[in-house]
Amino acid sequence: MFHPKTAPSGEEAGISFSTLKKLAITDEQKNILKRIEQETIPSVRDAWIDYFLKHTGHSECREV
């Protein structure tokens, strides 16, 4: 599983929160994105990112 590292900009390496925000269309997706942004445990945040991408139809974005 891919574990992002925090970049100096505050974004995760390999993951752009601004891009994720563009994908969040429904209220459910926006709520998931809030959980991702607030999560401090990397493995839990990683799981939320996977869940988010699956629910936006972009699960292939996480394949490494």
What is the tens place of the pLDDT at every residue in 3-61? 444 443 444 556 788 888 988 989 999 999 999 999 999 999 999 998 998 888 765 55
pLDDT for 48 equals 93
pLDDT for 62 equals 52
pTM of the model: 0.64
Cβ neighbors of 3 (< 8 A, separation 6 or more) are 42, 43, 46
- In this prediction, residue 63 has a pLDDT band, given cuts at 50, 70 and 90, of low
More confident residue, 2 or 55: 55
